[in-house]
Structure 1
Amino acid sequence: MKFVILFLYILSQIAVGIIGMKRTKNLNDFLLAGRNMGPWMSAFAYGTAYFSAVIFIGYAGKIGWNFGLSGLWIAVGNSFLGGYLAWKVLAKPTKEITQKLNVRTLPELLAARYNSPFYRIFSALIIFIFLVPYSASVYMGLSYLFESVFNIDYQLALIIMAGLTAFYLILGGYFAVSLSDFIQGIIMFVGSIIMIFSITSHPNVGGILTGIERLYKINPKLVSPIGPPGFWPLFFLVVLTSLGPWGLPQMVHKFYSIKDERSIKPATVITTVFSFVISFTAYFIGSMTRLFFNSIPLEGGKPNPDLMIPKIIQMAMPEAIAAIILALVISASMSTLSSLVLISSSAVSVDLIEGLGIKLKSKAKVFLMRVFCLIFIGISLIIAIFKPSIIITLMAISWGTVAGTFLSPYLFGLFCKDTTKLGAWAGSIAGLSISLGLSIIYKSDSAKIPMFGSLAMIVPLAVVPIVSKIERLFSSKPLAIHLPEIEETLSNE
């Protein structure tokens, strides 16, 4: 049954790639699907890119084990701040300004907004360098599941997933990604509901209320509003995972391609519901891990967080249910991978190449995009094979660094026309320095990484306006950007 599900899934993705190839004729099609995506496909593309295998394989296990039910605050933050408010605040102005300026990527938008060509080159390098380990973390999380549930060799599983991602993305571009995300989103949504029911009905849990009672007996703090690690660790996890999407290029990209303003409202609702169901499922199941492993010593008396959920699936679910859950996690991973690969390859083949003044024809750009998709997948694959660190640390550092670099310049660029180029640069450098600097100083301490990433996003929110204000006060030159399209868009907000 498990192999039948896997085979059908692979066939569906091959079909998606072929369909997408027929719809992809130029660079605009490859990157943005012609800016013609409806609300359902846009919302599912956002939601499936948001939640990858890491949330089920790494985050759910570790956070649920440590925080208990208080980890559900992360689900609230993900759905409200990362889902609803992100679409409510960012979607319309981003759609308008990118269409008026005819920009296709976040580096291109920042370079145009701040009249700084080098910003595009800098942004492209940040994206390519730091999304590689993020992508590797997704591969690693998915392969852990393959190894546990399918008994397929870790490296073989990596190669299968990398090959499948390369096939449908390189053929069909963003349309294939969005169509695949829609299919995968349905699988994730249905699979999450089945997963909740399966886990809560298992004898180790005995239903939701009984499960909560059993957690209370293990440790009363596991069912309290704030789990054993305390308020601040939980707060930083909520900020990292919920505010992060506001500054991640692969998430912002979904706003560029939505068809029209009327599609934004339904997409907002769909994204919010989807985000809540997926994140609630992951963190609630994570909170139940103590009921399965608390009396079973694993790896020196403590379970490996990356393997807890795969082991629960293996030991607690019938084969048919396990196959559905497997499809859920594969879907979560493949959708995130394709978004990461698309954005990272565009950073080099579009932003870096054009930023350096190299002019290519449209067909040559599309070909280059496809080549760099392969390169990016290959590099991520190599990192995942060598497993330099646990997947949670890899993802958290990448997530916090990229979001910290871009969030403030992007946000103030949309809503504050007095933001200066120096202010934007100061914000990006501050976010990058905080995330990387603290990670190096504390030797990538996984317990502190969420705090570093959160600070990298929060501090630049003050740095950008303060530096812009100081520059305006002490500069005798006019600092406002006077591109008519930008001025018109900002004045309408």
Structure 2
Amino acid sequence: MKLLVLIIYFAVLIGIGLYCRRHATDVDGFVLGGRSVGPWLTAFAYGTSYFSAVIFVGYAGQFGWKYGLASTWIGIGNALIGSLLAWVILGRRTRIMTQHLDSATMPAFFGTRFDSPALKVGASVIIFIFLIPYTASLYNGLSRLFGMAFNIDYTVCIVLMAILTAIYVIAGGYMATAINDFIQGIIMLVGIVAVIAAVLASKGGFMEAVRGLAEITDETASPQPGVFASFFGPDPLNLLGVIILTSLGTWGLPQMVQKFYAIKDEAAIQKGTMISTLFALVVSGGCYFLGGFGRLFSEQIDIAADGYDAVIPTMLSNLSPLLIALVVILVLSASMSTLSSLVMASSSTLTIDFLKGTFMKKMNQKQQLMWIRAFIFVFIAISAIIAIIQYKSNVTFIAQLMGISWGALAGAFLAPFLYGLYWKRTSKAACWVSFIFGCVLMVANMLFRSSFPVLLQSPINCGALAMIAGLILVPIVSLFTPAPNQQLVEETFACYNKDTVVPQKTALGK
């Protein structure tokens, strides 16, 4: 039964990829779906790119174990800050300005907005370097669930997932990814609700599970009894760091922001905002809520030996075969949708912004498509190799890989992108300062972690600091460095002032 469900799922994904080839005949169609993607597809593409095996297995297991039911706040933050506010503050302006500047990627936006080819190349290099560890981390959580459900070797899991993702992304581009994301999102919504109900039922229901959690004590975490069933948990300060990184971080991640480039119209933004927020509330809130009960299974888990990545698979190991199949499809859906989004962002950036912007300036549409597809294959292969090496050498666990990647990318890009959309005075120098500070801070944290203050030894907290520091540094540096070309800025911001005729139900007439 489990294998049959899996085969049907794979067949549907590949079929959609082949069907969407007609939308992928030029760069705009392949990378952005022709900027004509509706609210449901855009919202689900945003949500499924946001949440992967990293969230479901890595973060939900680790932070559910550390903070108990208080970890649910992470999911709520993801919904309100990472989805709702991201759509409200970035969605419309990103769509308008990127179309006006004719930019299909985040580096292209920086290059045109600040009249700096060097910024464009620098941003593309940062994306290439720091998306790789995040991409590699997607495979790890999946491998544990496949091993639990099918006893399949980890290497086989990675190769299978890599090949299937490569087929439908290379064939159909963004539109294939968006349609598959919608199907995968439905599976994620149904799956997380079913899994939570089954796990709680196995512990006597919700109230009994909470009572059991309240009885658990851990002197190393907190001497306070009942802390794992409390409102803020044993460590509110570090919990806040996780909320900031995983929620505010989406504002600066190229694979997330790029979803706004492809929105069809105003109605799609309004509907997409609500759909995306509700999706995040159910999926992310549900994942962390489920993880919060992890300590009820402590007799089956050896954290010291197996790590936090073993928490969620252990919680699910006693479910029925049908539910385990659903869980495997759920996490496979989450991982493949995020993987496809990451490799699309990486390959399009490296082709359009790096190769075409520096070495091959006369590259035509056909050649660009060829290079983008080639890089998709290369990125998937590199990430798969890293994932296998990481697993066999036990370098680190999921949350650390993702924390480093998110911290560097969002720390580098969030502030320049946000201020670039809203503030005319934002300078080129301020962008460089944010780029360098975010990347250097996270690399230093990775290499010299023990030298950092205790609170910042966590890559999660360090990434949160990188983002907040960028929001402070960019305006300060902008005020003390040469202003951008006034004519260029006025021409750029003129796109917001164009008259648009709308129905009276949207805006009252005179």
TM bucket, shorter chain: over 0.9
Q: d(CA) in 1 for partners of 2:484 and 2:380?
A: 44
Cα gap change, 1:481/1:177 in structure 2, threshold over 3 Å: closer, same or farther?
Answer: farther
Instruction: Name the counterpart of 2:412.
Output: 405
Instruction: Name the counterpart of 2:46.
Output: 46
Counterpart AA for 2:389: F
Q: d(CA) in 2 for partners of 1:314 and 1:223?
A: 23
Q: 2:423 aligns with which of 406, 410, 416?
A: 416
Contact residue 408 and residue 428 of structure 1 kept, 8 A? no
Q: d(CA) in 1 for partners of 2:154 and 2:428?
A: 46
Contact residue 435 and residue 455 of structure 1 kept, 8 A? no
Q: d(CA) in 1 for partners of 2:59 and 2:457?
A: 12
Q: d(CA) in 2 for partners of 1:297 and 1:349?
A: 45
Q: d(CA) in 2 for partners of 1:400 and 1:221?
A: 29
Report the 3-state secondary structure (helix = DSSP H, G, I; strand = E; otherwise coil) of the residue aligned with 1:201: helix
Deviates more, 1:382-391 or 1:429-438: 429-438
Deviates more, 1:190-199 or 1:336-345: 190-199
Structure 1 segment 411-490 matched on structure 2, within 5 A: 411-442=418-449, 448-471=458-481, 475=482, 479-480=485-486, 482=488, 485-489=491-495
Contact residue 301 and residue 314 of structure 2 kept, 8 A? no
Cα gap change, 1:80/1:297 in structure 2, threshold over 3 Å: closer, same or farther?
Answer: closer
Percent identity over the alignment? 42
Q: 2:389 aligns with which of 372, 386, 395?
A: 386
Instruction: Name the counterpart of 2:311.
Output: 308
Contact residue 74 and residue 237 of structure 1 kept, 8 A? yes
Cα gap change, 1:157/1:297 in structure 2, threshold over 3 Å: closer, same or farther?
Answer: closer
Q: 2:300 aligns with which of 296, 299, 317?
A: 296
Instruction: Name the counterpart of 1:263.
Output: 268
Counterpart AA for 1:67: Y
Deviations 1:267-308 (A, max 9, x none): 000000000000111111111111122x335265x6521122
User: How much has 1:232 moved relative to structure 2?
Assistant: 1.5
Counterpart AA for 1:218: I
Q: d(CA) in 2 for partners of 1:31 and 1:448?
A: 35
Count residues in correspondence: 483
User: How much has 1:389 moved relative to structure 2?
Assistant: 2.1
Report the 3-state secondary structure (helix = DSSP H, G, I; strand = E; otherwise coil) of the residue aligned with 2:396: coil
Q: 1:237 aligns with which of 216, 234, 242?
A: 242
Contact residue 93 and residue 489 of structure 1 kept, 8 A? no
Q: d(CA) in 1 for partners of 2:86 and 2:68?
A: 27
Instruction: Name the counterpart of 2:119.
Output: 119
Gaps of 5+ in 2: 218-225, 500-510
Instruction: Name the counterpart of 2:402.
Output: 395
Q: d(CA) in 2 for partners of 1:291 and 1:451?
A: 27
Counterpart AA for 1:371: A
Instruction: Name the counterpart of 1:105.
Output: 105
Structure 1 segment 132-281 matched on structure 2, within 5 A: 132-202=132-202, 205-219=203-217, 220-228=226-234, 230-281=235-286
Deviations 1:388-427 (A, max 9, x none): 3212111110111011110000000000011111122222
TM-score norm. by structure 2 comes to: 0.92
Contact residue 445 and residue 457 of structure 2 kept, 8 A? no
Q: d(CA) in 1 for partners of 2:289 and 2:41?
A: 27
User: How much has 1:335 moved relative to structure 2?
Assistant: 0.3
Report the 3-state secondary structure (helix = DSSP H, G, I; strand = E; otherwise coil) of the residue aligned with 1:218: coil
User: How much has 1:113 moved relative to structure 2?
Assistant: 0.8
Structure 1 segment 338-357 matched on structure 2, within 5 A: 338-356=340-358
Cα gap change, 1:463/1:7 in structure 2, threshold over 3 Å: closer, same or farther?
Answer: same
Deviations 1:41-89 (A, max 9, x none): 0000000000001111111111111100110110110000001000011
Gaps of 5+ in 1: none
Counterpart AA for 2:385: I
User: How much has 1:491 moved relative to structure 2?
Assistant: 6.1
Cα gap change, 1:206/1:360 in structure 2, threshold over 3 Å: closer, same or farther?
Answer: same
Q: d(CA) in 1 for partners of 2:444 and 2:58?
A: 24
